[in-house]
Structure 1
């Protein structure tokens, strides 16, 4: 199997106030903000928008109950297979539930081909919004799929947002049931199995228990095949853009490489 690497950077760009909730949007991510998310308070929520599609996310907005859509949080589009850090600040738990709208542009050569995804999101307890081709897969800060209410004012009505993997999803797979996780794209999926084309060119059909969403971001610890020499070294991602990444190794060396040359534990 191969290696992976690439990071992103960004700055906090705007402040939006909705129904007593303050929302901060980042036009990029910084290593300080995109560390693996720990359990946080209602007052300070950081999360990552991870783009698993080949298109660019050009618009991200939220809708609070009884309010209008916010302005676009993104000053710079999130490229295909890229990511961005965002932050949400709510003064009380009742403000955590909003509808998120994501617009993805799959166009090429100057031609627009937009797709809109709208789903309810509980921003308190949120760690990652995985943007797939036609839906969002949410992960809580405990690493579990996030559950959100589907029917207003009926607290008993809950269903998981997490759904089976679909072709085009960017995932991590445990190659041959080993100890490492490698990045790749879902080619096909059945009820209990997923066929993955790994970023290094290998293919495998694996049980869903050996597959998880791609969650690498700035600060994630990974191992990469140093200069393709066959020697694996550990380090942290310092920037990420599609399948390209920069890694700072633990021995102080640095390298720009591809996701197909990296793995994680």
Structure 2
């Protein structure tokens, strides 16, 4: 049995690709999900990766869920904070609920998941925390003040925790994907996709979930021990930071 890796939002889209890539690399993978039982069941059937259901926006649920995973699989040594939601609206129309839902999941969720796991990583003198941020956390995006703020916060906590974890053998890094060809993105109207989104990407195409997954596998590996506090930007040259 390899090192245990926990991937939040790990049964669909980029998260599913990450879970599968880590399994293929020899990790014992636990995939967390929040709501789609049917998709989670099919994911387990197709991949053999076990799933656990809880909301990363709920600290106590995270603590309990982590305890169940560790009781069954062993100490979590790799944490991939991938779970995220959108509640898009122009700022003058954005409701407090839309703001809070995104902040609670996309930013507080990173705290809620990492905080219970951190002491064990410190005690064992090894850990890998990989936070999936976004190009829109780097450059901002109209209609996504909540999402951009949360994803920018993910970069901030990455840099702070990298400094705190360094002496304990814990690396903390962020990945900021651009537009990736997930089911959600490919469901966008073809005209909008081809005329407004892809022309913004100098390489002329969407990224693939597997490209993000390969970056995660590298950052989780022993070979990445000198990478910490870094931000990888797989966005097809759309934005430089």
Normalised by the shorter chain, which TM-score bucket?
under 0.3
Higher percent of residues as helix: 2
TM-score computed with the length of structure 2 as normaliser: 0.27
Max radius of gyration: which structure?
1
| Structure of greater relative contact order (alpha carbons < 8 Å, 6+ residues apart) | 1
